[in-house]
């Protein structure tokens, strides 16, 4: 029983002291200890909170407030008052027991404090040193990315140092006492480290910008934007920007960090969507990413107009967005996307740094060297790992290209062998008897008709209507339709010189060539160049030429990419405008190594496309008058209200009336597409 009563007594004393704080004695710090290493002052300082911000220096020294300075829990390195509208007064006792005066510096290594005034009082004088980002850099006592107060401390004296702190930003106070010479050397070393970090960032920007111009891959440009914006964010966070970029702008000191973080997250979301192809891989989650991009665009606007009410909201939105990017990277990694592993690891470092910074700003983590410099370490690791990701992407692209070229070469060699055999067989057959020739003509007609048969599903998906009318049993016109991927379709239309058997043989030959390369996702211009090379290698002895037009139509992106080898210009009708898809290179069969340019057009709903051979307008009547391209264009424009079937029927009827009994001189092919 006596043991229990004794413990109750000690417990009561402990609770009484905890509930009713007593006036604290100010410990006295001997500045001689700063000759070898900096002294952290947070544990030795007393704090007075002024919620009304009405007190001045004279007031807080009065006996009424002198006794209200208390010990406040803190880490060894710093105080963290988070976001507060109060003014904080801090006090510490220093002594110089040396026989000579000492040059010291008091350093607050956190650059986003609006008001930071130091009062140095000893028996001989009282000196006030104003600072904080509201004071222009040129007027501060020591020009540095942090707030540095140089003090000449008289010999054999005691002094009291007061700090007045107020800021709309998170109030973090990592306070150190340095020997002046020691801090000057530290400042030089710190600038070397900062120069290394920003030098690495600058090198990454230049190198990947060079790769972007070489490879034309937008991911490298997005990486450049991410690295640049991250570097600006770090420069704002650690005070480098305040020292060198905007030394006279308190507004930027107050707002820049969170604004730049929003920009970094926006660019990171865009970079993630492009690099990981989340639109195709995880379409539902991709829509959430787009929503977060919009959110990070809108929140900074409200943040600028209402700082106090939005500051915690925007900080929390940064943490949520960072978590979302990490989550999406994890999902893509689980789907066995190789590049997602690099992306996830890279962003994990930046995510950890951002979360640590956010929790410190909200007062949930202590302020120390790790929580202050963490974002810089995290961004450095993130830059390097993302660079590895892009390097791996480049290697993957090179390997895929080599495999594609090998496969194309194999297929072309096989095609050459097959075509040579077919041509040899048909040549022997045509040299037999006239009856055999007629029979083969009939067979050739059926073969050509079958070669033009297109999957009805493709015709339906493209809203396509076509007419094919050879002059005789067989003709020199040819077209082909195939599907490259979910949204992209490829159309070839070709016209061999002449008509009849000779032209028909050429079309059969080009079909064999084209079938082996049409399904590769190469650009139209590249396919055309391969097409010309194979034609020259195999059929130059036939002394034949052909025009051709290859179009890639993307129904989702609503774009048309095309390359034309001397083929009549296709017609795109947009509202009241008529756009021509003009030639981008010479006819096939003229010479080897012809370069074909590539063009691109956009289309919209209700637009209409016509692709045709020259037999549509090169029709001559008995008076030797040509129907002509201008008449054809006028017919297309005047029949916009008709269906494609009716338009093509009307065209054939108009040509028949124009010819007035004359036979057509050339094969006729026309394809119409309604978008």
How far apart (Å, rounded) are the C-alpha atoms in residues 545 and 30? 97
Q: What percent of the chain has pLDDT over 90?
A: 34
Per the CB < 8 A criterion, the answer to whether 468 and 452 are in contact is yes
- Where does residue 168 rank: exposed (0-12), middle (13-18), buried (19+ CB within 10 A)? middle
Q: Identify which of 510, 479, 414 has the alpha carbon closest to the alpha carbon of residue 611.
A: 479
pLDDT of residue 339: 73
| Calpha distance 631→642 (Å, rounded) | 17
Instruction: Select from 548, 526, 540, 538 the least CA-distant residue to 414.
Output: 538
- State the pLDDT at residue 104: 92
- E strands, 183-258, are none
3-state secondary structure of 319: helix
Residue 573: beta bridge partners?
A: 578, 608
In eight-state DSSP terms, residue 639 is: T
Alpha-carbon span 142 to 186, nearest angstrom: 14
Q: How many CB atoms lie within 10 A of CB 72?
A: 16
| pLDDT for the residue 493 | 92
pLDDT digits (tens, 9 = 90+) for 46-66: 999 999 999 999 999 888 888
Flag whether pLDDT at 287 surpasses 80: yes
Q: How confident is the model at residue 664 (pLDDT cuts 50, 70, 90)?
A: confident
**Which distant-in-sequence residues (6+ apart) come within 8 Å of 346 by Cβ?**
381, 382, 384, 385, 386, 388, 389
Per DSSP, the residues of 90-138 read EEEEEEE-SSS-EEEEEEE--S--SEEEEEEE-SS-EEEE--STTS-GG
Residue 237 pLDDT > 90, yes or no?
A: no
Burial of residue 523, with CB atoms counted within 10 A of its CB: 0-12 exposed, 13-18 middle, 19 or more buried: middle
pLDDT in tens, 363-391: 556 655 555 565 666 666 666 766 666 66
Rounded-to-integer distance, Cα 229 and Cα 210, Å:
18
The answer on pLDDT for 570 being more than 90 is yes
DSSP symbol at 53: -
* DSSP 3-state of 79: strand
Q: Is the pLDDT of residue 452 over 80?
A: no
The fraction of the chain above a pLDDT of 70, given in percent, is: 84
pLDDT at 474 over 90: no
Min mean pLDDT across 177-186, 268-277, 577-586, 637-646 is at: 268-277
Contact 646, 637 (CB under 8 A): no
Torsion 468-470-473-477 (CA) sign: negative
Where do the structural domains in the chain lie, given as residue ranges? Answer: 22-184, 217-399, 432-674
Q: For 448, how many CA atoms within 13 A lie in the half-sphere containing its CB? A: 28
Other CB atoms within 10 Å distance of the CB of residue 375? 25
pLDDT of residue 607: 92
Mean pLDDT, range 268-289, rounded to an integer:
89
DSSP 569: P
Query: Which pTM value belongs to this model?
Result: 0.54
Complete edge-to-edge strand list for the sheet that includes strand 464-469: 464-469, 668-674, 608-612, 570-574, 577-581
Rounded CA separation 450/453 (Å) = 5
Burial class for 344, CB neighbours closer than 10 Å (0-12, 13-18, 19+): buried
Instruction: Supply the pLDDT for residue 23.
Output: 44
CATH fold of 22-184, please?
Immunoglobulin-like (2.60.40)
Give me 332's structure tokens: 């893509």
Taking 80 as the threshold, does the pLDDT of residue 581 lie above it?
Answer: yes
As separate numbers, helices (DSSP H) first and strands (DSSP E) second, the chain gives 18, 21
Give the CATH architecture of domain 432-674: 4-Layer Sandwich (3.60)
On the question of pLDDT at 455 being above 60, the answer is yes
The answer on pLDDT for 473 being more than 90 is no
94, 158 Cβ separation under 8 angstroms: yes
Cβ–Cβ < 8 Å for 178, 34: yes
Residue 19 has pLDDT above 50, yes or no: no
């Amino acid at each position: 029983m006596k043991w229990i009563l004794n413990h109750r007594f000690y417990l009561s004393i402990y609770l009484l002291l905890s509930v009713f704080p007593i006036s604290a004695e100010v410990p006295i710090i001997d500045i001689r200890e700063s000759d070898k290493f900096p002294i952290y002052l947070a544990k030795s300082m007393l704090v007075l909170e002024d919620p009304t911000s009405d007190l001045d220096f004279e007031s807080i020294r009065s006996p009424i407030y002198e006794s209200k300075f208390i010990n406040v829990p803190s880490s060894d390195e710093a105080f963290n008052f988070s976001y507060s509208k109060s003014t904080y007064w801090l006090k510490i006792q220093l002594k110089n027991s040396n026989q000579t005066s000492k040059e010291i510096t008091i350093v607050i290594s956190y650059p986003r404090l609006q008001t930071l005034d130091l009062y140095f009082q000893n028996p001989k004088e009282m000196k006030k040193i104003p600072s904080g980002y509201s004071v222009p850099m040129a007027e501060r006592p020591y020009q540095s990315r942090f707030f540095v107060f140089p003090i000449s401390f008289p010999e054999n004296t005691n002094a009291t140092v007061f700090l007045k702190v107020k800021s709309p930003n998170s109030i973090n106070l990592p306070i150190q006492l340095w020997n002046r010479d020691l801090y000057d050397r530290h400042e030089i070393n710190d600038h070397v480290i900062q120069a290394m970090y920003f030098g690495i960032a600058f090198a990454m920007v230049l190198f990947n910008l060079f790769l972007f111009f070489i490879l034309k891959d937008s991911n490298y440009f997005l990486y450049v934007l991410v690295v640049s914006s991250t570097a600006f964010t770090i420069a704002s966070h650690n005070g480098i920007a305040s020292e060198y970029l905007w030394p006279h702008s308190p507004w930027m000191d107050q707002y820049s960090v969170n604004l730049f973080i929003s920009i970094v997250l926006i660019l990171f979301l865009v970079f993630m969507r492009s690099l990981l192809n989340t639109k195709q891989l995880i379409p539902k989650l991709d829509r959430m990413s787009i929503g977060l991009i919009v959110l990070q665009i809108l929140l900074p606007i409200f943040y600028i107009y209402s700082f106090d009410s939005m500051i915690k909201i925007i900080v929390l939105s940064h943490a949520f967005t960072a978590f979302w990017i990490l989550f999406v990277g994890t999902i893509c990694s689980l789907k066995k996307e190789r590049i997602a592993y690099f992306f996830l690891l890279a962003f994990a470092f930046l995510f950890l740094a951002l979360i640590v910074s956010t929790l410190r700003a909200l007062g949930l983590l202590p302020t120390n060297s790790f929580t202050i410099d963490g974002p810089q370490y995290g961004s450095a690791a993130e830059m390097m790992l993302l660079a590895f990701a892009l390097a791996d992407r480049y290697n993957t692209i090179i390997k895929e290209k080599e495999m594609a070229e090998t496969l194309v070469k194999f297929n072309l060699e096989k095609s050459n062998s097959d075509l040579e055999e077919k041509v040899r067989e048909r040549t022997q057959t045509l040299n037999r008897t006239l009856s055999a020739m007629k029979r083969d003509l009939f067979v050739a007609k059926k073969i050509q008709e079958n070669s033009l048969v297109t999957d009805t599903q493709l015709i339906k998906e493209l809203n396509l209507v076509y007419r094919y009318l050879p002059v005789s049993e067989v003709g020199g016109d040819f077209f082909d339709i195939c599907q490259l991927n979910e949204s992209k379709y490829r159309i070839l239309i070709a016209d061999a010189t002449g008509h009849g058997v000779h032209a028909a043989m050429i079309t059969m030959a080009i079909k064999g060539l084209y079938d082996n390369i049409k399904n590769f996702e190469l650009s139209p211009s590249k396919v055309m160049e391969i097409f010309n090379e194979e034609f020259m290698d195999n059929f130059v002895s036939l002394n034949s030429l052909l025009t051709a037009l290859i179009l890639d139509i993307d129904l989702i992106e609503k774009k048309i990419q095309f390359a034309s080898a001397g083929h009549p210009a296709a017609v795109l009708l947009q509202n009241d405008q008529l756009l021509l898809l003009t030639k981008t290179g010479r006819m096939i069969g003229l010479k080897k190594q012809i370069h074909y340019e590539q063009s691109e057009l956009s289309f919209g709903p209700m637009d209409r496309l016509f692709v045709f051979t020259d037999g549509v307008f090169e029709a001559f009547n008995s008076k030797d008058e040509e129907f002509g391209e201008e008449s054809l264009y006028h017919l297309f424009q005047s029949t916009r209200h008709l269906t494609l079937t009716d338009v093509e029927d009307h065209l054939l009827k108009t040509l028949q009336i124009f010819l007035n009994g004359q036979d057509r001189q050339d094969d006729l092919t026309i394809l119409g597409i309604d978008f």
